């Protein structure tokens, strides 16, 4: 059974940080390299960063499968868009519908938050994720290159899904 649970306590955030390290190391090292993965984990996926983001209005959710955390996501309302900041699932759990369940949950939340679309950025070389998002109704509306410090950039596509 898949369950979505709000995460905001320190023990849960510690679990998310541990999960992030495992997922990012496996998934992103071939795409952006080990050094940038380590930098981005420290900058964007640490307990301290997540706590600060929660204070800034981000909501973190655990994706549970059979009562164990197998993935997580983060959203933030930005005017009339719901920004999907993060959506990550363990490699062993991909293809089981966890990402789809997260998108369905977010899609139901959007109108309640007065949002008419879900927006996200995805690394342009992350082909499997792009394909999965497109299958769930997202379309590519542009691209963005962001300097994230230490000589690293994020080279992303911007995807959106309209909510009826």
**Backbone φ and ψ of 101, nearest 5°:** -60, -40
Q: How confident is the model at residue 59 (pLDDT cuts 50, 70, 90)?
A: very high
Share of the chain above pLDDT 90, in %: 99
| Structure confidence at residue 164 (pLDDT) | 78
Q: What total number of domains does the chain contain?
A: 1
What per-residue string of b and e applies to 97-114 under the rule 16 or more CB within 10 Å gives b? Answer: ebbebbbebbbebbeeee
Average pLDDT, the chain: 97
Q: How confident is the model at residue 44 (pLDDT cuts 50, 70, 90)?
A: very high
Q: How far is CA 20 from CA 15, 89, 147, in A?
A: 9, 9, 21
Residue of 22, 130, 120, 133 lying closest to 74 (CA atoms)? 120
Q: Is the pTM of this model over 0.85?
A: yes
Does residue 125 sit in helix, strand or coil?
Answer: coil
Rounded CA separation 4/153 (Å): 31
61-76 pLDDT per residue, tens: 999 999 999 999 999 9
113-131 pLDDT per residue, tens: 999 999 999 999 999 999 9
Query: Do 39 and 152 meet the contact criterion of CB atoms below 8 Å apart?
Result: yes
**Backbone φ and ψ of 7, nearest 5°:** -115, 125
Residue 88 maps to which CATH number?
Answer: 3.40.630.30
Across residues 42-53, what is the average pLDDT?
Answer: 96
Expressed as residue numbers, the domain containing 142 is 2-162
Residues 6+ apart with CB under 8 A from 105: 4, 61
């Amino acid at each position: 059974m898949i369950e979505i649970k709000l995460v905001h306590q320190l023990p849960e955030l510690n679990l998310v940080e541990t999960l992030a390290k495992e997922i990012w190391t496996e998934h992103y090292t071939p795409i952006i390299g080990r050094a940038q993965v380590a930098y981005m984990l420290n900058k964007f996926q640490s307990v301290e960063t997540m706590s600060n983001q929660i204070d800034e209005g981000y909501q973190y959710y655990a994706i549970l499968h059979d009562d164990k955390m197998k993935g997580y996501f983060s959203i933030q309302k930005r005017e009339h868009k719901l920004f999907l900041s993060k959506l990550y699932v363990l490699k062993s759990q991909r293809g089981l519908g966890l990402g789809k369940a997260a998108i369905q949950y977010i899609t139901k939340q959007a109108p309640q938050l007065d949002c008419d679309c879900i927006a996200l950025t995805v690394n342009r070389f992350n082909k499997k994720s792009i394909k999965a998002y497109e299958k769930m109704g997202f379309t590519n509306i542009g691209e963005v290159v962001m300097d994230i410090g230490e000589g690293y950039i994020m080279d992303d596509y911007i995807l959106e899904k309209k909510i009826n």
